[in-house]
Structures are given as structure tokens and as C-alpha cells.
Chain A
Amino acid sequence: MSARNPGTELDLSWISKVQVNQPAVLRRAEQIQARRTVKKEWQAAWLLKAVTFIDLTTLSGDDTYSNVKRLCYKAKYPIREDLLKALNMHDKGITTAAVCVYPARVSDAVKALKASGCDIPVASVATGFPSGQTHLKTRLEEIKLAVEDGATEIDVVINRTLVLTGQWEGSDFIKTSTGKETVNATFPVAIVMLRAIRDFFWKTGNKIGFKPAGGIRTAKDSLAWLSLVKEELGDEWLKPELFRIGASALLLDIERQIYHHVTGRYAAYRDLPMS
């Protein structure tokens, strides 16, 4: 993904003027989940769309070439071919938006994707993930190495020490959290972030992307995230260049829901290929 945000002069008056009323945002978060549902073919179409937003992720200490390879294959074929055919969606080239791995596994992922002949980008968490508490020099070096290995997107952990002391950084995408915290992607936090993205767009004309990560496991959750973005930012943000969902288990649940939609039966896990 190419850089979009040319940046702007740091104007802290923007930040000091921001008012966020927590109880009101909590109420809004509850409402969005209750007020918008999609059913039947709308649900199927939305779920397939959600697949195209997924950064299919594995971030485990015991990741090896074999499970990264499996992940990459699943990224290319996220939904069983016969199910897509039944929906007449098999020719839409539905893949996940990216695969996301640790820097040391980037070369594995690039290799696996190349082998299966597809151009899904490889994203990598870098910069002392998940705490960001390493020296700037090693963090920059980490990014450089990941890019050299073929990563085209880098999820940077911002230096929260600097944020908490009021020193901000810029970005193309903002992400709710690393997915490794005790509390990860929550609706109220997302609402505040989405409103900031919209305000920044209104002020500068630059569109910043949004990526919730951590704890998004069910198809229903993913639909709620899609409608949240649709409601707060609009349809123009509902494309992989501006919206990603960082997840690993989510894809399987979406596939099960599609299976149910197509067949009218609930799937057992063995009915669907693992990643």
C-alpha cells in the first residue's frame, strides 16, 4: 500500500478542542449494534465483503513455515469454492485483504504466497510488537528488515510513552490495539477513532484507514464492525485500502455462516478446511 497521508503541521489545538463524553459514546456504541442488522442474502453478501477486509493473522511464538503456509493458502481460498459457486460469487476473486505475521515470518509468507501464485500483500507487525518498548534505532531496523523480506504493510506500535505525554505521531492507518492487550477492539473506542478519522478528512482531505484488531471472532461481530464504519464514516471507507479487520478465528465462523446460508444446515468444523 502506498503512503497516502502527506502529513500536516502538528497543531495541538485540534487535540485540545476535542471533547468526548464517555457515557454518551457508550450509549451510541450500544445503539449501533442494536439498530442495524442484515439478514439472508444481505448477510451473505456482507459476510463475503467482510472476508475481503480481513488481515488473516497469526502472531504466535511457535509460528513456523508450515502453519504460515497454511494460513497463506487459506487467505487465497477463504471460502469453500462450492459455497461461492452456489452464491454465484466464485468469479469475484474473494481473498482476504492481507496476511499478517511477525517480521521473522515475512519471508515464509512471501514465499508461500508466491508459490500459490497470488498477490495478497504481506503485512507485518514490527517495532517491538506488542509493547513498542524498544529503542527507536532497533525499531526502525526492524521495519527495514521486514520490508526487505517483502512486507508491504507495517503495523507500527506507537510509542505510548510519547502519546501519554502528549507527543503524537502520524500514520496512514490507525489500529484499535495490538490485539495482545487485556482489552482490545471495543466499539466505544472505535467510535472515537472513527470520528477523529472523519474530522481529519474534513480538515485536510486525507483519508486515514481504520483497523480494529483483537477479539473479533464471530461473523456477527464482523457485521457490527462493518455497519459501524458505514454509519460513522460512510461507504467510501468500506474497502480494503481503508478498512481492515485483524483476526484469525473470525474467518472460520464466517465460512460456517455462509455454509448455513447456502445449505440451510449448520456446519461441523470438519466440514470446512482449516487455516
Chain B
Amino acid sequence: MAATRAESRAREIFTTLEYGPVPESHACVLAWLDTQDRCLGHYVDGKWLKPEHRDSLPCQDPVTGEHLASCLQAQPEDVAAAAEAARTALESWSGLPGASRAQHLTRLAKMIQKHQRLLWTLESLVTGRAVREVRDRDIPLALQLLQYHAIQAHSQEEALAGWEPMGVVGLILPPTFSLLEMMWRICPALAVGCTVVVLVPPASPTPLLLAQLAGELGPFPGILNVLSGPTSLVPVLAGQPGVQKVAFCGSVEEGRVLQRTLAGVGPELGLALGAESLLLLTEAADVDSAVEGVVDAAWSDRSPGGLRLLVQESVWEETMRRLQARMERLRGGRGLDGAVDMGTRGAAARDLAQHYVREAQSQGAQVFQAGDVPSDSPFFPPTLVSDLPPAAPGTQAEVPWPVVVASPFRTAKEALAMANGTPRGGSASVWSERLGQALELGYGLQVGTVWVNAHGLRDPAVPTGGCRESGSSRHGGLDGLYEYLRPSGTPARLPYRSENLNYETFGLAVPSTLPAGPETGPSPAPPYGLFVAGRFQAPGARSSRPIQDSQGKLHGYVAEGGAKDVRGAVEAAHQAAPGWVGQSPGARAALLWALAAALERREPTLALRLERHGVEPKAAKAEVKLSVRRLRDWGARAQAQNHSLQVAELRGPVLRLREPLGVLGVVCPDERPLLAFMSLLAPTLALGNTVVLVPSRTCPIPALDVCQDMATLLPAGVVNVVTGDQDHLARCLALHQDVQALWYFGSAQGSQFSEWASAGNLKPVWVSRGCPRAWEQEAAGAGPELELRAARTKALWLPMGD
């Protein structure tokens, strides 16, 4: 009888009322691994791939060290095989009607449902995360993701007309949260018709199991291929023919290195970096509930990273007391125990946390640790760090799991300054019962997701992502779909990398220019100078460059801008930004329309200028007319940007806000000098950005003409135009840490450099790769692609209740 074993324990427990272990068996995992003879290869084209002569790494239970299986590590030829399979599958998969793809995704959801115990046990066993979290949250969310994206696929032909799947997508996953991170990305990619090659870190078997479940569904085996291997294979994957997009999920530094490595390689890079989150607790908050928010954000197995906690000074003591009391009740232990809050993330994560805490202590911080957590490795207790001096290195560094770094603030304004004072911009929550204050903070935080009075809520319909160094890729919602789509008819992205390009010297020096004879231009003479902060200014270098017309005659001199001029222009743009963002879309539209009218009045002059550069008179007129239209169209589109979403399990709306990127650097192409300038300028302004433009290299004068109108119509600094050597100016903009995005339309080398140099602050970068663009066409010149790129999405969650 059970009781004979239990009797003595029961007496003791009756007195202490302690919790006991609630172990879950992992027999199903061992049985599955046995089907593979405890050796996991890769899953490619619907089959297990186990090539010979490969290194293998052990997959272990992080707590007991039990050897579970050995995992073969991929070599470049395995990557090639997987990419080949995905390329072959792409033809049939992308050609299917969306409704058929929807059916396939639904079948996958059913397949997962049938084998969910195996999935959650495996994920919890190898990652060490609490099984309750995997079972009750990850698996249901994975199923919701498939369902949501099946619906999107079903209506793709109508809802996403004008877009086509990019092609083969390479996906690189982190070791923790690999199952969910994978689902967030493969669901939209597969839904829109892309096929996927996933590269998972060594010894992460859950994605392999998922691929096997998908492969066993039959007719489209190659749509999802999973390789196990180190991140050093990413350039190999990115360089495979047909790979059009690389989606990377990992640390900030890895992302930065990857952006530099992949400059010019071809595929578009989508980055989702870092794991830290932020919680802002005001004096008007329900403090106990906010403390639960902290638990959700850092001391549960729900969130991947640590937490920066900002607490209003007036409730600091109260909050600390409640936090510490709450920490005492946290339970850690083996992930496969059904009653723990926190499992372990393995020895590496423990060492990282340990290191951070020691550093903080040595910098004078207070460290509080509590909770019922095993004291041996690989466990680490919930940790609260306070009194970390603002200037200490630890204040700027990313906070690791499971650490919370608390700092006090005095006013909401100061809280915003502190919150926005790091390079990261992932997710944040605001705790306040005052609606006005919560919205003020929610709008002001420079992050991808804001929850009001909640933390860590997710839904497939809500776009999630970051900004700044957290990377600008989005998943979920419509934004997540666009990550894997391109405007129909866009040529495939091919490698354009030049191995000779010297990043250290590219565009460093400005070739000296000499007087080239008297100006013979038509009157009126074009304005001279750089258009910065609303007026024409002499360039810092006090030198000029001659502009020739199509006959090779001197048309005029333009100012030779340099690094200091770019610095001044960026500063002016920053100063103008708050005012410009603060304008209503209607007011911005009115100004764009006024500018359009002014342009119309200048039509004869502008047409003559273009004619001198070899444009036919009729075409020149048409270019001016189309430029006018671009301004009017974008003015009209400025109106409707934000909308609200309704999601399951939440009473209240989620707002999808389209926010400006900030200060945008734009290098304009040579072709269509006026139209391209206007086609790029209009959407950036309409969506609330301020901008530093480098006009066409060969024909900058029409742009300067327009600056005369902008000087009178637009607030100073909203638009700044810097003429000069394009390579040099592109270099200055790309390396500028306070330029929030860069669009480069110019040479292949300049494109490659821009991609490489933008890694400094991880600004979103859009380059032409040396290809001209059909600016006169609606899709290329004024299509939704520009709208997507000119703003970023923020999701603002507003739960309601009385």
C-alpha cells in the first residue's frame, strides 16, 4: 500500500505544509530518441539525414547530466543539401493557392496536438524550462500561431495582392525558447509560400522533432528543413543559391557581427536581438500586481531575459518590501517538476548571471537573493540588484536572466529618459492606474511592445519586435507576414559582394575639386550651399564641386559637404524631430500639399533643369508632374496609419501604432534625379520622420531648387539636403550612431559599405545593391514597401477591467 511508504512523510508534511516534487516522466522522450538510436542528425526533405564523418555533440539533461543522445553537427555540404531541398520545394509550395497552404498548416496543427506531450516533455527536458510553462503556454501558442497564419494564407490572394513570397528563408535560432521562436517565424514564412531552412544550436532537438512531424504529413517534405550546427555556418547558409532572407534571433553582438559578415551577400537580414525587458512602476500602480509583473518578466520561465525595473521614488520602499517578500515564495528546480516557477537555463546562463551579479556587487550594488532554489549548479536564484550607480558599466549592459536591476525615478519624464537611455528597444510594461499617464509613457517608450498593467502577453495577431539595437524585424500580425514577402516582380536578391572593398577607406577621402570654368547655367541661378536647419549654409570645407550637364558643360557649382556638415544636419534633424512628430497627420499632409503646390509653380524651371541633363522636354514635364503627385499622395496616406486589434483572451484593445523611425539618412540615386528625390522624401515626411538627404550625384540642382520652397514652408531642420561626394556622405551617415535608418540608392560598393557600417547602431538599412529602380512606376515609386520601411510598428496592449 502506498501509505506504508508515505506514512512518516505525511506526519512531517502535515506540520510543515511544504511543497513536494511533482515529477513528470520523460519516458516518451527516451522512446522517441530510441527510434533514432540515440543519434540525432538533421531533418531534410522529409527524411532524417545522418551523414558520416561528422562531429557530434552530446545532448544532456541539464540537471542530472544524463546523456540523452548525440547530435551530429552539420558541415557546409549538409547546409547545401538542405537549401537545395528547400529550393525544390519552393516551386510547388509557392505555386499553391493560399487556401491549400492553409489546409496544410491546419494539418500540422493537428499533428502537433496529437503529439504534444512528447513535444513539451522534450522541450522542457533539454532546455530546463518549467514544464508547466511549456505545456500551458508554449504549446497552445504554437497551435494558435498555426491557426492564425492558416487564416492569413487562406485570404492571401485578396489581402496581400501585389506581394509575392521571397523564396527560401534561412532561420537561425537561439538555444532557449527555440520551439516558440521557431514557430513565430516559420508560420508566417510557410503561410505566404516561402520554404525554410532552420539552423539550430547544437543539441536542440525540439525543432528537429517539429520538422519530423511536419515531414510526416506528406506531400511537401522539403518546406521545413532543420539542421543542427554552430552559428559559423550562417554565412554558408546565407550564401546558398535561392536563399533570399536570413532571420536571426540571438544576442546583440552576434547580430552585429552577422550584419557585417553578410554585407553584400544578398539575402535580406531580419534581426531580433537581445532578451532584456523593462518594467516601469509608477506611484499610481497596483504595486502587488506590478510585483507579479516582475515575476512574469524575470522570475518565471516565460521570458528569455532579465529585467530593468524603474520604480517611482515615492513607492520605492513599499515596492522593495513586496518584491522581496514575493521572492521568498518563488520555487526553482528541475524543469520537469510540475510545481516550480523557474527551471534552469543551463550552466552557461548560470555563469552569465553569476558574472553579472559579481560585477554589480563590485561596483557597489546591493544584491538580494531569495527563493526555494537548489543551491548547486546549474541553478541560479532569483536576484534583485539595486543601488547600481548610474555610471557603473552594469547599468548599460544587458541584464541577464534571472536578474532584476531596480532603479528609482522621480517623475514620469525622468522615467522615460532613463528607459530610453539604453541602446536596446525590445519590450516594456507600464504600471499605472492613471490612463493618461499610462498612455503618455506607452507612447513615449522607444520599444517594440508596451503592455499597460501586464507583462509578457503574446498573441499571433499582434506584431512583436523591437527597435534600435534590439533589431527591427517583426513577427506576428500583418507586419510578420511582410517580413517574408516582396513586391511582386522584384528581381531575386543575388550576391553583389565585392571582396576588394576596403571598409576602412571607402569614401574616407573627398577627391579635391578645382575650378572648372565659368557657369553657363540658365537663370535663375541655382541656390548655393547646403540646406541645413532651414537655410542655405556654406559647407565646412569651404569648397565646391562642379556639376556638368549632358553636354559636359559646367551647369553650376554645388557645395562640397563633409563629415561636419552631416553632423550638423543630423543635429538639426534631431532638434526638429519632436515638433514634427507632434504634428497631427493632417497638419503634415497640409504641409506636403503646400509643398506640392510650390513645386507645381516651379515646374518650368525644374523641367528646364532636367532637360539640361538630357531628359526629353515631355519626359521632364512628366517627371515634375509625377513628383508633385507623390507629395500629394503621401500627404493623403499620412492620415490612416494606426489601428486597433482585437485579440483572444484579452478584454480591451491592442493598438498597432506606426511610429516614425526618427532621423533618416537618404542617399538618392542618379536616375530620375527629381522624381526619386521626391519619391523618397515624401513618405519619410508623411510618416513623421525628419531626414538628411544626399541628392542625385549627377543632377543635384533640382533638389536644391525645391529646398527654397521647403525653407519657407517646412519647420527648420525637418528636411536637410547635403550635396557632395556620395561615397563620403554615405559613409558619414552609415557610421553615424544617431541616424536611425539609412536608405542608400547608389553603387553596389556603396550599398555593401552601408550594410556593413550600419551594424554600428544596427539601424535598419535599405540599399539598392547597385540596381536602378523604376521610380515612375507606382509599385516601386510609391508602393506600400516605402510605407513599411518609413515607419516602425509598436504594439500597445491596453487590458481593461473595473
Of the candidates B1, B6, B9, B433, which one forms a contact with A21 in the assembled complex, judged by CB atoms under 8 Å apart?
B433
Quick one: closest A residue to B135, CB to CB?
A34
- A36 CB → nearest B CB, Å: 5
B499 lies within 8 A of chain A by Cβ: no
Asked if residues A22 and B19 are in contact (CB atoms below 8 Å), the reply is no
Q: Considering the chains assembled together, what is the distance between the CA atoms of A48 and B11 in angstroms?
A: 10
Our pick among B10, B13, B18, B136 for the contact of A88 (Cβ within 8 Å) is: B10
Say yes or no: A19 contacts B17, CB within 8 Å.
no
Report the minimal beta-carbon distance from A187 to chain B, rounded to whole angstroms.
Answer: 13
Closest 6 CB pairs of A and B: A22-B801, A42-B20, A24-B289, A45-B13, A41-B6, A88-B7
Contact A41 B10 (CB under 8 A): yes
Asked, given contacts A28-B289, A36-B339, A235-B17, whether A21 binds B10 with beta carbons under 8 Å apart, the answer is: no
Interface residues on B, range: 35 or more
A102 at the A/B interface (Cβ < 8 Å)?
no
Using CB atoms and an 8 Å cutoff, list the residues of chain A in contact with chain B.
Answer: 19-28, 31, 34-42, 44-46, 48-49, 86-89, 92, 195, 202, 226, 230-231, 234-235, 238, 261-264
A48 and B454 form a contact (CB under 8 A): no
27 pairs, A vs B, C-beta closer than 8 Å:
A19-B287, A21-B286, A21-B801, A23-B651, A23-B799, A24-B290, A24-B292, A24-B453, A27-B454, A28-B292, A31-B292, A35-B132, A38-B22, A39-B22, A40-B2, A40-B6, A42-B18, A46-B17, A48-B10, A88-B7, A88-B8, A89-B11, A230-B329, A238-B17, A261-B2, A262-B3, A264-B2
Contacts of A48 in B (CB 8 A): 10, 14
- Asked if A45 and B9 make an inter-chain contact with CB atoms under 8 angstroms apart, the answer reads yes
Q: How far is the CA of A226 from the CA of B17 in the complex (A)?
A: 9
Contact between A87 and B801 (Cβ–Cβ < 8 Å)?
Answer: no
B793 nearest CB across to chain A (Å): 23
* Distance, CA A96 to CA B651, complexed state (A): 41
Which has the most chain A C-beta neighbours within 10 Å: B2, B9, B136? B2
Taking the closest CB of chain B, its distance from the CB of A128, in whole angstroms, is 29
Which chain A positions have C-beta within 8 A of B285? 19, 21
Within 8 Å CB of A202, what residues of B? 321
Contacts of A45 in B (CB 8 A): 9-14, 17
Question: A42 and B19: CB pair below 8 A?
Answer: yes
Q: What residues on B are CB-neighbors of A39 within 8 Å?
A: 20-22
Q: A42-B19, A235-B17 are contacts. A88–B286 as well, Cβ < 8 Å? A: no
Query: How many Å lie between the Cα of A40 and that of B11 in the bound state?
Result: 13
When chains A and B are docked, how far (Å) is the Cα of A31 from the Cα of B173? 29
Given A19-B284, A195-B288, A26:B801 Cβ within 8 A: yes
Known: A21-B285, A24-B289, A38-B19. 17 other contacts (CB 8 A): A19-B285, A24-B453, A24-B799, A25-B286, A25-B289, A37-B22, A37-B339, A39-B21, A40-B2, A41-B9, A41-B13, A42-B19, A46-B17, A87-B10, A87-B11, A230-B329, A262-B1
- Complex CA distance for A36 and B17, rounded to whole angstroms: 13
Contact residues in B for A89 (Cβ distance below 8 Å): 7, 10-11, 14
Distance, CA A31 to CA B136, complexed state (A): 10
Q: How far is the CA of A42 from the CA of B337 in the complex (A)?
A: 14
* B13, closest chain A residue (CB): A45
CB distance from B9 to the nearest CB of A (A): 5
- Name the interface residues of B623-674: CB closer than 8 Å to any CB of A: 651-652
**B290 surroundings in chain A (CB, below 8 A):** 24
Asked whether B341 lies within 8 Å of A49 as measured between CB atoms, the reply is: no
Question: Among A36, A41, A88, A226, which residue has the most Cβ atoms of chain B within 10 A?
Answer: A41
User: Residue B504 at the A interface, CB < 8 A?
Assistant: no
B433 and chain A: residue at smallest CB distance: A19
In the complex, which residues of chain B have a beta carbon less than 8 angstroms from the beta carbon of A261? 2-3, 6
B578-618 interface code vs A (CB 8 A; 1 in, 0 out)? 00000000000000000000000000000000000000000
A45 to B22, CA, bound (A): 15
Q: Which chain A residues border B289 with CB–CB below 8 Å?
A: 20-21, 24-25, 28
A-chain residues with CB within 8 Å of residue B453 when the two chains form the complex = 21, 23-24
Q: Which of A27, A38, A92, A238 contacts B292 (CB 8 A)?
A: A27
Cβ-closest chain B residue relative to A45: B13
Complex CA gap A24/B8 in Å reads 40
Q: Is B293 an interface residue (CB 8 A)?
A: yes
Verify A263–B1 contact, CB threshold 8 A.
Answer: yes
Is B802's CB within 8 Å of the partner chain A? yes
Q: Collect the chain A residues with CB atoms within 8 Å of residue B341's CB.
A: 35
A49–B12 Cα distance when bound, in Å, is 12
- Please give, as numbers and ranges, the residues of chain A lying within 8 Å of B287 by CB-CB distance: 19
Per the bound structure, the CA–CA distance linking A89 and B6 in Å amounts to 11
Residue ID in chain A nearest B652 by CB atoms: A23
- In the assembled complex, which residues on chain A have CB atoms less than 8 Å from the CB atom of B5? 41
| CB atoms of B6 and A87 under 8 A apart | yes
Q: Whole-angstrom distance between the alpha carbons of A263 and B285 in the complex?
A: 51
Nearest CB in chain B to that of A229: its residue: B17
Q: Which residues of A contact B454 (CB under 8 A)?
A: 23-24, 27
- Distance in angstroms from B621 CB to nearest chain A CB is 60
Q: Which of A20, A42, A231, A235 has the most CB of B within 10 A?
A: A42
In the bound complex, residues from chain B placing their C-beta under 8 Å from that of A234 are: 329
Residue of A nearest to B798 (CB): A23
Residue of B nearest to A48 (CB): B14
Contact B802 A46 (CB under 8 A): no
A24, B329: Cα distance in complex, Å: 19
Contact B286 A264 (CB under 8 A): no
User: Chain B residues with Cβ under 8 A from A42's Cβ?
Assistant: 9, 13, 18-20
Which residues of chain A come closer than 8 Å to B799, judged between CB atoms?
23-24
A49 and B10 form a contact (CB under 8 A) = no
* Closest B residue by C-beta to A18: B286
Query: Which residues from chain A contact B132 at a C-beta distance below 8 Å?
Result: 34-35
Question: B residues within 8 A CB of A44?
Answer: 6, 10
Q: B253-294 toward A: CB 8 Å interface, digit per residue (1/0)?
A: 000000000000000000000000000000011111110110
Residue among A19, A21, A231, A238 facing the most chain B CB atoms (10 A cut-off): A21
Q: How far, in Å, is B340 (CB) from chain A's closest CB?
A: 8
B contact residues around A19 at 8 Å (CB)? 284-287, 433
**B760 sits at the interface (CB 8 A):** no
Q: Which of B768-802 contact A (CB under 8 A)?
A: 799-802
**B370 to chain A: closest CB distance in Å?**
13
B112-150, CB < 8 A from A: 132, 136
Residues of B within 8 A of A27 (CB): 292, 454
Chain A residues with CB below 8 A from B21, complex form:
39
Chain A nearest CB from B107 CB (Å) reads 29
Q: A21-B433, A37-B338, A39-B22 are in contact. Are A92 and B14 (CB under 8 A)?
A: yes
